[in-house]
């Protein structure tokens, strides 16, 4: 199979069988979802996704890309998971996730939390993302179902439970797959010290990225975000142009 790695500033394209520069995952990281495998491209707009652990710059990248695309005359919207649009269920779940004590909740069961996050995803997909795509607009999405899998597995939620939650989200997407997914990495996440948990999350993300790329349902690139935001956005735009030429 043709090696998809190409020299593009700070971007490493994942080949079908391998991902350059990624360490071999542990047996735990090797586990991957059994669902989300049969989607087909069925949309008029384009869906561009940024994934990765906290602190790697996804929010800044998505906002900057949207501004740049709009300056180029491309109709474009930004969305994020679990969702923060005022007056929505997703926004309430987002606040509950980050500040449960404000709602009188002492602790959150990890499985119940992922169920709530899936509900937030479904609302954002159906009320915000799909209407934009169906109107021919490009959507730049901060996080994807990958985060449900990665954070769920890292917190001990069973694979069986996560598969069922992802099946619900799959129905909500109605056959849509991304035009491109960028897995964003950074040698030192913003405002965070390296931790064992961050290493575990990173390993899970990289393992999942390899497997999604190997299925060939949508292209996946690793974006090393150690330089300036301008360099990172230039790399993203270059990969999107290459994708457009290839199709």
Beta bridge partners of 139: 47, 77
pLDDT tens per residue, range 132-191:
999 999 999 999 999 999 999 999 999 999 999 999 999 999 999 999 999 999 988 876
Residue 244: burial class (beta carbons within 10 Å; 0-12, 13-18, 19+): exposed
- Could you tell me the residue ranges of all domains in the chain? 11-81+137-163+173-246
Beta bridge partners of 184: 223
User: Tokens 């230039």 appear where?
Assistant: 234
Question: pTM of the entire structure?
Answer: 0.81
Query: 3-class SS at 210?
Result: helix
Question: How far lies 152's CA from each of 9, 115, 117, 240, in Å?
Answer: 32, 10, 10, 30
- According to CATH, the topology of domain 11-81+137-163+173-246 is Rossmann fold (3.40.50)
pLDDT tens per residue, range 98-145:
888 888 888 889 999 999 999 999 999 999 999 999 999 999 999 999
């Amino acid at each position: 199979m043709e090696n998809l790695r190409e020299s593009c500033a700070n971007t490493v394209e994942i080949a079908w069988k391998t991902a350059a520069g990624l360490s071999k995952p542990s047996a735990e990281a090797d586990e991957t979802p059994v669902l989300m495998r049969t989607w087909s491209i069925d949309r008029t707009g384009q869906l561009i996704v940024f994934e990765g652990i906290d602190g790697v710059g996804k929010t800044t990248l998505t906002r900057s890309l949207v501004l740049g695309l709009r300056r180029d005359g491309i109709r474009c919207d930004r969305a994020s998971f679990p969702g923060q649009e005022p007056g929505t269920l997703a926004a309430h779940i987002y606040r509950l996730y980050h500040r449960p004590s404000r709602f009188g909740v002492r602790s959150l069961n990890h499985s119940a939390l992922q169920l709530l996050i899936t509900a937030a995803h479904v609302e954002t997909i159906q009320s915000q993302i799909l209407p934009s795509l169906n109107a021919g607009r490009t959507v730049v999405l901060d996080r994807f179902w990958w985060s449900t899998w990665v954070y769920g597995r890292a917190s001990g939620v069973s694979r069986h439970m996560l598969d069922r939650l992802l099946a619900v989200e799959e129905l909500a997407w109605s056959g849509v797959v991304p035009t491109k997914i960028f897995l964003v990495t950074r040698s030192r996440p913003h405002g965070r010290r390296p931790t064992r948990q961050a290493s575990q999350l990173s390993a899970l993300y990289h393992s999942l990225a390899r497997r999604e790329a190997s299925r060939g349902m949508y292209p996946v690139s690793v974006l090393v975000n150690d330089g300036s935001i301008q360099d990172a956005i230039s790399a993203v735009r270059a990969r999107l142009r290459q994708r457009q030429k290839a199709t």
